[in-house]
Amino acid sequence: MIGKLKGVVDGVGEDHAIIDVHGVGYVVQCSSRTLQDLPASGEAVVLFIDTQVREDAIRLFGFRAEQEREWFRLLQSVQGVGAKVALAILSIMTPGDIATAIGTGDKAMVARAPGVGPKLAQRIVSELKDKSPAMTGIDLGVRTLADSLGQKGAAKPVTDAVSALSNLGYPQSHAVSAVAAAVQSLGDEAGTSALIRFALKELAK
């Protein structure tokens, strides 16, 4: 099994890259985020590889970070999520974004990925919530928010407040931390406007 490739970028296609390792060109499937993050053709690159062996083919999936590869594998443990869907999710979300969505029960964020409907997004959030790797990369604020909401998942005012703060330009991790503080202070039943006002005061400190 191939676990890592260290070579140079030979070419980039719509959904793959060709990595030249000592004269051998490996075709590696990648998310669009990974492809955009690759160096220019001819430059050195290291990709962490997930090798999938099928009866008719051996496919290589490449990632810039080990954590991204872990999420690729973890996502596929959910029924209905194959390599294509897992890559689609990783194309629009960083590992931290996925961890945040799962930690806060935000299925709408996951459903933004092509090929992921509401039911599948709910299954991903539900099935991965209690798996320890699913919490990797979540900061203290996200953990606090998840704990404060228990098993209910994030209520719509909470996710709307986080989304609004993110749209204002605040990093998502900061927005989540601020909303977590708002939930702790105002309670689970607080409305979106109240959460945003409180969170803005937290972010201004």
- Judgement on whether residues 75 and 123 belong to the same structural domain of the protein: yes
126 with 175, same domain: the answer is no
Q: Are residue 124 and residue 74 in the same domain, yes or no?
A: yes
Give the residue among 159, 148, 182, 176 at the shortest CA–CA distance from 108: 159
Last residue of a domain, one of 137, 152, 167: 137
State whether 101 and 83 are in the same domain.
Answer: yes
Residues 160 and 189 placed together within one structural domain of the fold: yes
Task: Decide: 108 and 121 in contact? Cβ < 8 Å.
Answer: yes
- Looking at residue 134, its pLDDT comes to 40
Say what the pLDDT of residue 155 is.
Answer: 67
Closest CA to 116 of 151, 134, 138, 91: 91
The domain that contains 96 carries what CATH number? 1.10.150.20
- What pLDDT tens digit does each residue of the chain (205 aa) get? 789 999 999 999 999 999 999 999 999 999 999 999 999 999 999 999 999 998 888 999 999 988 889 899 999 999 999 999 999 999 998 887 787 777 777 888 899 999 999 999 999 988 887 664 444 444 445 555 555 554 445 567 888 888 888 778 777 777 887 888 888 888 878 888 888 889 888 887 7
- Whether residues 60 and 70 share a domain: the answer is no
For 151, the domain range is 139-205
Q: What is the pLDDT of residue 131?
A: 66
CATH number at residue 15: 2.40.50.140
Contact 78, 124 (CB under 8 A): yes
User: Are 188 and 133 in a shared domain?
Assistant: no
**Structural domain count, the chain:** 3
- 40 vs 137: CA distance, rounded Å: 29
Instruction: Identify whether residues 130 and 163 lie together within a single domain.
Output: no
How many CA within 13 A on the CB side of residue 12? Answer: 18
pLDDT score of 91: 94
CA 170 to chain centre: 18
Whether 55 and 113 share a structural domain: no
| Burial of residue 1 (number of CB atoms within 10 Å: 0-12, 13-18, 19+) | exposed
